Amino acid sequence: MIVYLIKSTLCLSAFLLVYYFLFERENMPVFKRFYLLGSLIFSYLIPFVAFEFQAKNTVVAVSQNLQTIILPAIEINAEKNYSNTILLSIYGIVTFIFFSRFIWNLLNIQKVKRNAEITNFQSAKLALVDAPILPHTFGSTIFVNKQSYLNRSIEAEIFTHELTHVREKHTLDIIFVELLKTAFWFNPLLILYKRAIQLNHEFLADQKVVSSSENAALYQKLLLRQGNPHTTFYLTSNLNSFLKTKKRFIMMTKTTSTRTQLLKKTIVAPIFLGLFILGSSITFAQETPLKEERTEAPIYQAVDKKPDFPGGIQAFYNFVGLNYKMPDVKDLKGKVYISFVIEPDGTLTNIKIARDIGYGTGEEAIRVLKLSPKWVPGEQDGKKVRVLYSLPINIHGN
């Protein structure tokens, strides 16, 4: 889990830095919307991707005498980790609080909508609210002050702006980010992503208004008159933000050439590819990692002198038990079989999973055996030989 969080955070940071340096000041809001959303999805999914490349070697004839010497099973029992339990409990409590806050806001919006007078308006619905609010949008509903609407004091440009939020389904973007914040509340980068996405929503809506009215100066004056001390819900799209106004004014009059857009979009491809390689798990495995002289040597089923672990076989069991990390899966039980060859120099090769119970149990056994110090090799007729062993591991979860 720690590795996953580190990888996803590094990807999020890299994408956000690229956004701030390359795209934030450019007038290309449609591309920026998909870039920001794509960055979030990519960053949280790519650490789950794993590739294994198998390198095949040319192998000379190997002895078919491959009966395995089976070791007694190792018992690995999961110990109760109270520190992990405490951390998981804290995470669960805080996550529940944030999720409850999210649900409360949804219910609060629905409550306001139920108490409002609803009327159809083009492709949206208008919720006429008695409270002195600025126009804002949630889903397919535009919330406006009832008196202002009846007095026809809400300009057409404002409705064009809010209808853009409705038609382009900007609410879905906000809900997506809020759900991520609920699960990953400890990551402050998501706050920055939400701000960037919301601001870009305003760019998209402003672009629609300016292109339809062709009078940016008049629309800017209209926005300056929209100052209102009453805040709206944090899940909605709205005009109430003095801090955003300057950036929005600049973006309305800024033009990004087609050549610049194409160049910057092209740069994104190698960035995604680089982070894909760094963020995913890529391993290179050899089908036969033995040297040629080793592949010619027979593997014995019975030897005059069996291989031995430094300190004895019980020390080997202790070594595996101390280094084996149980997966965080409740009530996991079963048996894992790992085969390996003890070479004449005492190293372990050809470590393979014969059977496992999933959840990375077999891969963890391979990891542990790769850490093993050299064994005292087996001997046959006074010569050091290769011996194939099979190790059963009994897994007992909590």
Identify the pLDDT of residue 230.
45
| Residue 335: φ, ψ to 5° | -125, 135
Those residues whose C-beta lies under 8 Å from the C-beta of residue 142, and which sit 6 or more positions away, are 121, 124, 125, 126, 127, 135, 136, 159, 162, 163, 166
234 and 352 assigned to the same domain: no
Q: What angle do CA 6, 23, 35 make, to 5 degrees?
A: 55
CB atoms within 10 A of CB 199: 19
Identify the pLDDT of residue 57.
45
Identify the pLDDT of residue 398.
60
Using CA atoms, how far apart are residues 340 and 307, in angstroms rounded to an integer?
12
Of 241, 256, 271, the residue at which a domain comes to its end is: 256
3-state secondary structure of 284: strand
Q: Which helix (H) or strand (E) holds 349?
A: strand 348-355
Range of the domain at 327: 59-81+289-396
Q: Residue 178 falls within a domain, yes or no?
A: yes
3-state secondary structure of 100: helix
Of 213, 239, 256, the residue at which a domain comes to its end is: 256
94 and 237 assigned to the same domain: yes
CB contact at 8 A, 338 and 71: no
Which residues pair with residue 387 across a beta bridge? 300, 342
Q: Residue 165 falls within a domain, yes or no?
A: yes
Question: From first to last of its 398 residues, what are the pLDDT tens digits of the chain?
Answer: 677 888 889 999 999 999 999 999 999 999 999 999 999 999 999 877 765 555 454 443 434 444 455 666 666 665 554 566 788 889 999 999 999 999 999 999 999 999 999 999 988 999 999 988 889 999 999 999 999 899 888 888 899 999 999 999 999 999 999 999 999 999 999 999 999 999 999 999 999 998 887 777 888 888 877 654 444 555 665 545 566 788 888 888 888 888 999 999 999 889 888 888 877 765 444 444 444 444 457 777 678 888 888 888 888 888 888 888 887 777 778 888 888 888 999 999 989 888 888 888 888 889 988 999 999 988 888 889 888 888 888 877 66
